[in-house]
Amino acid sequence: MGLSFDHVLQAIQHYAGQNKLFHKSILRYIENGEWCRLAEMLFRDLRDLPVVTPSHLRKNIPVMESIINAIVDEYFIRGDKERPFDPRDWRTRESAYEIATNMRVEGMRRKGPALEERKRIEKQAAKKCKVLIQKHSMVHPSAPVSKLDAPSGDLSPSLNRPISEVEIVTSMETIKRQKKARSQLVALQERPTRRRLSYCEEYGNIEEPIDPDFWLELAEIDPAGLLTSSEPAVEERDAEKPPTEEQ
């Protein structure tokens, strides 16, 4: 089909999931009433659209500009006719405040059942966690070995009896194995954290690297949206060179 397989995979990687580089929702700004941030974001989208759009997608620029301008007109009134694209002159429409209020009310309505479900799950999780802790805890088996009382103050009937030497050794070996296994588990959990910090220190973020061809293609596009070529620059440099003796 004439498509680069690597570029297709890169496009899927960038656009299939939401990420900070290519996606940002305006609904959060509207719902929270952050009109200055919304205006600034829309202004930057209009300004940067001709610069960041690759050459093979430039035919879509007018469509995208129309969509962004429609969003601007939906929530703002352009004050100065001579500077319609300056967000400092945009005033928030009264209808925008109503939309934001309705979004917050609807959000709280949807959030109610979700919070109830979350509380129910947290309650079940706490109950199961308590059972697991009691099941796997070595406090009660180790209490008679160390001659200490269990947290409840009393041992269970099965443990309220003389402990044989074999049971003591077995309990201590079990505790040692559990301690070693836990240390290994903690080390496995700390290793990704250390690698993440090392990655951030070296590259400044944890974002996945972008194909260099993508940025090279953007570098060939000037702010006016016109493709530039390196050949005229070479000719100009050749014209500036002083003539040689052979010439």
Question: Any residues with CB less than 8 A from the CB of 23 and at least 6 apart, and which?
Answer: none
How large is the average pLDDT for residues 8-32?
63
Token pair, residue 90, equals: 């945009």
pLDDT at 136 over 80: no
Per-residue pLDDT of 200-241, as tens digits, reads 888 877 777 777 676 666 666 554 444 444 445 444 545 555
pLDDT at 87 over 70: yes
What pLDDT score does 10 carry?
62
Quote the mean pLDDT of the chain.
73
* Residue 8 vs residue 125, higher pLDDT: 125
Per-residue pLDDT of 95-114, as tens digits, reads 999 988 888 888 888 777 87
Judged by average pLDDT, the poorest of 30-39, 72-81, 136-145, 186-195 is 136-145
Of the candidates 225, 235, 230, the residue with the CA atom closest to the CA atom of residue 53: 225
